[in-house]
A and B are shown apart, each in its own frame.
Chain A
Amino acid sequence: MSNHLLELKNVTKIFKIGGTFSKNSIKALDSISFDMPLDKPLIMGLVGESGSGKTTLARMILGLSEPTSGEIRYKDMNISYWLKKKRLEYYKEVQPIFQDPYSIYNPFYKIDRNLMLVVKKFRLLPDMKQAYEFISKSLEDIGLRPRDVLGRYPHQLSGGERQRIMLARILLVKPKLIVADEPISMIDVSLKAMFLNYLISFKEKYGISCFFITHDLNTASYVADKILVLCHGRLVEKGPTKDLIENPLHPYTKLLMNSILIPNPNVERKKEIDLTSLESFKKIKAGKGCVFSARCPYATDRCKNSSPELLNVGSERMVACFLYFS
């Protein structure tokens, strides 16, 4: 047994575009490798702009789409093995939280039935008689009053309540890994914090790891232990959150850091970013160079012609940029 909960090895995903016979394709993800440890629960943040391939990666981990090449391993087994032989077990251990809390519940079922199905499907209890209490308990743990929500249909609940029921669902199943794709981008500010605090407490109390996808570095820095930065389908930087935030290495990470809006009017209100060439017409080219070279202020000929590997630069930090190694 190795000691990886989740391990990705050179995962690449290519989408064909155009008709059946079209030769055009887009590399949505290019040789993604990273791992999450088995023994120590952690929250891994994945940060990137829209179109960088974040959701594609989440879908592949959840087995909703297959990598074109490369391997995704869960507990030292390829996930295609899990999905074929131990599908139920896999989904009991790897649970998703989606972005849109409005469309994930069956609208014709009341909440109690929606949750009861979870208990039944994963055979969480030997005896279904206790299911109702079990569900009530998990709802209470998330700060919902069971009698307020159980008899109601999903459309009668607010977005915040729905996302909280999602959390209660996680508590029912108690998976090993949560794959959360932009879970808070559609809920209100005052409830976001609650959601993030629950994710942290799940990790600390129950040892549930989380793969947390977001476009917002502010959020990632609050919740994640480690951060991966994704740019146009390539991992460009990886490191422990504190280090990465305090000292971003890759020019793309630096750009992200400069563009995040800090909710404090005194801090850097005057500071502006250089926008020239940023929004030049982004045509997706299957170029050989670094993915960021077209927007990078430090780009050299070398960057345009060859693509840098993600390499170690000490103390768990990795960066894919020629600036740091010659």
Chain B
Amino acid sequence: MLEVKDLRIYYKSTFGDYKSVDGVTFVYRNGIFGIAGESGCGKSTLVEGILRLTKPPGYIPTGEVLFHGIDLLKIPEEELRKIRWRKIAYVPQGAMNSLNPVIRIEEQMMDVALDHNNSLNKSELKDLISLLLKRVGLPTEVAKMYPHELSGGMKQRVIIAMALILKPELIVADEPTTGLDVVVQKGIIQLLKKLNKEYNTAIIFVSHDMAAHAHLSDRIAIMYAGKIVEIGDTIDIFEKPLHPYTKGLISAIPQIGKKVVKSIPGLAPSPLNWPSGCRFHPRCPYAMTLCRDVDPPLEEIRPGRYVACHLYSEES
């Protein structure tokens, strides 16, 4: 469905290019695909790039984003507009805070539909809106309300309903659970799971929260320093993490009943000046001389399981 090939997204600055996303390749087929990583690793930049929403000083030097075989980075802006929202809906980080405070929810949702050339008339649209609100677990009265009357979790649900209005095949949700209370977070996760299982909406779920991924994602890609270091099925990743970074990340999460929590030594590198070779080598407990010089490629070590680490490549 979606294939990303060697995507690079750089930001121009007086000190040189910030290489936020530096050669990302992955294939998305179905289910819920999670993108995980710490702040500054390029998650949000990556999804913006996939939808060609990168704004200057950001630019995309190389890469392909194939959606059903069409390269989203090459087609004219007009055609891209037809795909956005209708085929791929994007829920940016903190979208719930960007609802217009002086317009009722219903009108805001209608705006989206009308702006993207919907064929439905107004009363049909109203029916659709109340149906969607119900689907995301909100009472239909919400349609007549203003954003300030809703809680954070309810606003996030409105945003998800809004993304669904043109029946997209794919929803890209950037940190939809961040900044919400635990109980509400769990509610949003249940909702996204339901949309995927019952209505067959494909979802790309971006979050820094490994616990949220454990509950929601079917497959996870782990990003570090602008690159994907590991891809695999969620259960596999949690049970048998391969890349030393993933191992560190998983053992660093506090969890009820866990006695020892270890942190990863060192600090995340700067996108202005990535370390040579493998970008994790200065913090890696298993680093070899090879790691300092040669950047390991992302290799499929068994069907569906990819890792970028010299420990698992055949030559070494």
Which A residues touch B234, using CB under 8 A?
A: 265
Contacts of A222 in B (CB 8 A): 254-256, 258, 261
B208–A263 touching, CB < 8 Å = no
- Chain B residue numbers with a CB within 8 Å of A159 are 39
Contact string, B180-223, partner A, CB cutoff 8 A, digits 1/0?
01111111011000000000000000001111101100000000
Interface membership of A216, Cβ < 8 A: yes
| Nearest CB of chain A from residue B257's CB, rounded to whole Å | 8
Q: List the B residue with the shortest CB-CB distance to A200.
A: B261
B283 shortest CB reach to chain A, Å: 8
The minimal Cβ–Cβ distance linking A249 to chain B, given in whole angstroms, is 16
Q: Tell me whether A275 and B190 are in contact in the complex, defined as CB-CB below 8 angstroms, given that A188-B38, A189-B208 are known contacts.
A: yes
Q: Is B134 an interface residue (CB 8 A)?
A: no
Q: Any chain A CB within 8 A of the CB of B301?
A: no
Knowing that A262-B214, A263-B214, A263-B253 are A-B contacts, what are 11 other residue pairs whose CB atoms are under 8 Å apart, sorted by A's residue number? A161-B267, A188-B208, A189-B208, A194-B263, A221-B256, A222-B256, A256-B182, A258-B186, A260-B182, A261-B182, A265-B234
Provide the main secondary structure of the chain B interface. helix
Binary per-residue interface labels of chain B (248-279) against chain A in the complex, 1 for a CB within 8 Å, 0 otherwise: 11111111111001111101100000000000
Chain B positions 230 through 247: 1 when the CB is less than 8 Å from some CB of chain A, otherwise 0: 000011001100000000
A258-277 residues at the B interface, CB under 8 angstroms = 258-266, 269, 272-273, 275
Contacts of B211 in A (CB 8 A): 218, 260-263
Q: Which residue of B lies closest to A191 (CB)?
A: B263
Determine how close the nearest CB of chain B comes to the CB of A201; give it in whole angstroms.
13
CB distance from A162 to the nearest CB of B (A): 11
B187-A275 in contact (CB<8A): yes
Asked if B153 lies at the interface with its beta carbon under 8 angstroms from chain A, I say: yes
How distant is the Cα of A50 from the Cα of B152 in the complex, in angstroms? 10
Q: What is the total of A-B residue contacts with beta carbons within 8 Å?
A: 135
**Known A188-B39, A263-B250, A263-B253; contact A282-B151, beta-carbon cutoff 8 A:** yes
Quote the shortest CB–CB distance from B97 to chain A (angstroms).
Answer: 14
When chains A and B are docked, how far (Å) is the Cα of A281 from the Cα of B154?
Answer: 10
Q: How many residues of B contact A (CB 8 A)?
A: 46
Q: How far is the CA of A221 from the CA of B185 in the complex (A)?
A: 19
Contact of B92 with A by CB under 8 A: no
**Once the chains bind, are A192 and B254 in contact (CB under 8 Å)?**
yes
| Identity of the chain B residue whose Cβ is nearest the Cβ of A185 in the assembled complex | B179
B residues less than 8 Å from A264 (CB atoms): 214, 238, 255
Contact check, B263 vs A279: say whether CB atoms are below 8 A apart.
no
What B residues does A281 contact at CB under 8 A? 149
| A104 interface contact, C-beta 8 A | no
Tell whether B23 is near chain A: CB-to-CB under 8 Å: no
User: Measured between C-beta atoms, what is the minimum distance from A142 to chain B in Å?
Assistant: 12
Q: Give residues 230-260 of A contacting B (CB, 8 Å).
A: 245, 255-256, 258-260
Cα distance A266–B233 when bound, in Å?
Answer: 12
Give A128-163 interface residues, CB cut-off 8 Å to B: 143, 158-161
- Tell whether A160 pairs with B267 under 8 Å between CB atoms, given A259-B182, A264-B214: yes
Chain A residues with a Cβ closer than 8 Å to the other chain, count? 45
Judged by a CB distance under 8 angstroms, whether A76 is at the interface is no
Q: Which of A196, A259, A262 contacts B256 (CB 8 A)?
A: A262
| B137 on interface, CB distance cutoff 8 Å | yes
Q: Are B38 and A189 in contact (CB under 8 A)?
A: yes
Binary interface encoding of chain A residues 271-303 relative to chain B, with 1 for a CB under 8 A from any of its CBs, else 0: 011010011011000000000000000000000
User: In the docked arrangement, what's the CA distance between A266 and B239, Å?
Assistant: 9
A-B contact pairs, 12 of them (CB 8 A): A188-B38, A190-B249, A190-B252, A190-B264, A191-B264, A196-B254, A222-B256, A259-B185, A263-B214, A265-B215, A265-B235, A275-B190
Residues of B within 8 A of A272 (CB): 190
Interface residues of B (CB under 8 A from A): 38-39, 137, 149, 151-154, 181-187, 189-190, 208-212, 214-215, 234-235, 238-239, 248-258, 261-265, 267-268
How far is it, in angstroms, between the C-alpha of A282 and the C-alpha of B152 when the chains are bound? 11
Which residues of chain A are within 8 angstroms of B238 by Cβ–Cβ distance?
263-266
Closest CB-CB distance, A210 to chain B, in whole Å? 15
Nearest CB on A from B207, distance (A): 10
- Residues from chain A with Cβ under 8 Å of B183 in the complex: 49, 255-256, 259, 273, 278
Is there contact, CB below 8 Å, between A197 and B215?
A: no
A263 CB contact (under 8 Å) in B39, B151, B239, B255:
B255
Contacts of B251 in A (CB 8 A): 193
Q: Which residue of A lies closest to B210 (CB)?
A: A263
Residue contact A49 to B181, C-beta cutoff 8 Å: yes
Q: Is the CB of A188 within 8 A of B268?
A: yes
Q: Counting CB contacts under 8 A, is A219 at the interface?
A: yes
- Mark out the residues of chain A between 79 and 121 whose CB falls within 8 Å of any chain B CB in the assembled complex: none
Whether A261 and B268, one on each chain, are in contact in the complex, defined by CB atoms closer than 8 angstroms, is no
CA distance A310 to B310 in the complex (A): 58
The minimal Cβ–Cβ distance linking A236 to chain B, given in whole angstroms, is 14
A226 contact set on B, CB distance < 8 A: none
Which residues of A have CB within 8 Å of B263? 190-195, 197
A78 CA / B246 CA spacing, docked (Å): 49
Q: How far is the CB of B55 from chain A (nearest CB, A)?
A: 23
Beta-carbon contact of B249 and A273 below 8 Å? no
Q: Quick check: A262 and B255 within 8 Å, CB to CB?
A: yes
Answer whether residue A176 sits at the interface, using C-beta atoms and an 8 A cutoff.
no
* Residue A217 is within 8 A (CB to CB) of chain B in the complex: yes
A117 to B89, CA, bound (A): 51
